Amino acid sequence: MIEKTTESGAETTADWRAAGQAWGERARDWAYLFEPYAIPSFDTVLARAAVVEGTRLLDVGCGSGLAATFARRLGANVRGIDASEELLAIARDRVPDADFRAADLFDLPFPEASFDVVTSFNSIWFGNDGALVEIERVLAPGGIAALTFWGDPSRMDHAAYFLAVAACSTSDEGDEVIDLGKIAEPGVAESMLAATGLQPTERGSVRCVSEWPDRDIAARAMAAPGVAHHAIRHSGLDVFVATALERDRAPPHRPRLPPGFRSRLPHRDQAVSAALRFCRRLRPTAHPGATDVV
Ligand SMILES: C[S@@+](CC[C@H](N)C(=O)[O-])C[C@H]1O[C@@H](n2cnc3c(N)ncnc32)[C@H](O)[C@@H]1O
């Protein structure tokens, strides 16, 4: 959870290192059991942002570096920042020639206009407006910023995950978790971006699916995100994973996975799907033709 204060007129995290510790507690479980669900969004966003050989790319909240891996394969000159040293260690193993730094996404350690593309996969949420201001600052004129976040809860089995986290947290912490998802509501991300001077160009959705072979692995995966930290501390690990497994089920009236995926899974309640939205933004200083690359 990100707590923000305003000091000297600049919005920043009060304790980004605490966020990093929460995300680092189960870093390997996050990297190997949860993070891969987002691969379709990495592919889509990097293609839409036209990442090619030599693109100067920054991934904000890069976690364990899976998106950076894909960007590097495309030839990008990759940098990433994250609050978690444990996740960054995995990222460095995955992409040894990238530049990964422990830093606050509200205070990026780079000069202005340093990057052609800035991505942020599920690391910027409702209320994190200051992070967008920083992205705008480090983006070169004509550059592209792209962010993803979980989409319309009515189409997303994983929406129940947030509810499980909230149910197992204190009411204040639970409310904060639910609030994060407000970024997916119509027009909210656009308003946040417009306030920074970034110009919206595209918004779409990508279907992402978590595949877990059994309930034990699913339980380990669900305990891994840092957002579950308060819930586990408040209610205990066993109660939290039981709640998450119980709630994170598809409504019975519709299939939870496309047929091709379902046939590869032993039981229908052992996997979940998530629709995930992405946005692409141009700085107002971008050349007009750039908005046509959609
Ligand atoms: C949902 S994870 C996404 C990780 C990665 N982008 C991915 O798609 O797998 C959110 C990430 O944001 C990082 N984070 C949270 N608060 C942060 C802050 N204030 N500054 C930098 N990173 C932060 C966490 O450590 C975590 O790696």
Tokens linked to 28 = 């390997």
Angle at the Cα of 156 from the Cα atoms of 150 and 158, rounded to 5 degrees: 75
How many Å lie between the centroid of ligand 1 and the Cα of residue 123? 5
285 pLDDT exceeds 50? no
For the residues 119-137, what does the mean pLDDT come to? Answer: 95
Please state the atom number of ligand 1 nearest to the C-alpha of residue 120.
Answer: 6
Per-residue pLDDT tens for 227-273? 999 999 999 999 999 998 887 654 433 334 333 222 222 222 223 33
In the chain the domains, ranked by start, together with CATH numbers, are 14-287 (3.40.50.150)
Q: Output the six-digit token pair for 273.
A: 């799907």
- Stated length of the chain: 294
Over residues 41-95, the pLDDT tens digits come to 999 999 999 999 999 999 999 999 999 999 999 999 999 999 999 999 999 999 9
- Distance (Å, whole) CA 129 – CA 13: 12
SS3 call for 283? coil
The best mutation among 17, 21, 23 to test binding of ligand 1, ranked by most ligand atoms within 8 Å of the C-beta, falls on 23
Provide the H-helix boundaries in 25-128. 27-29, 39-48, 66-73, 85-94
Q: What is the 3-state secondary structure (H, E, C) of 234-254?
A: HHCHHHHHHHHHHHCCCCCCC
Check residue 178 and give its pLDDT.
86
By C-alpha distance, which of 125, 147, 126, 127 is closest to 136?
Answer: 147
- pTM for this entry: 0.84
Q: Cα(219)–Cα(245) distance, rounded to whole angstroms?
A: 7
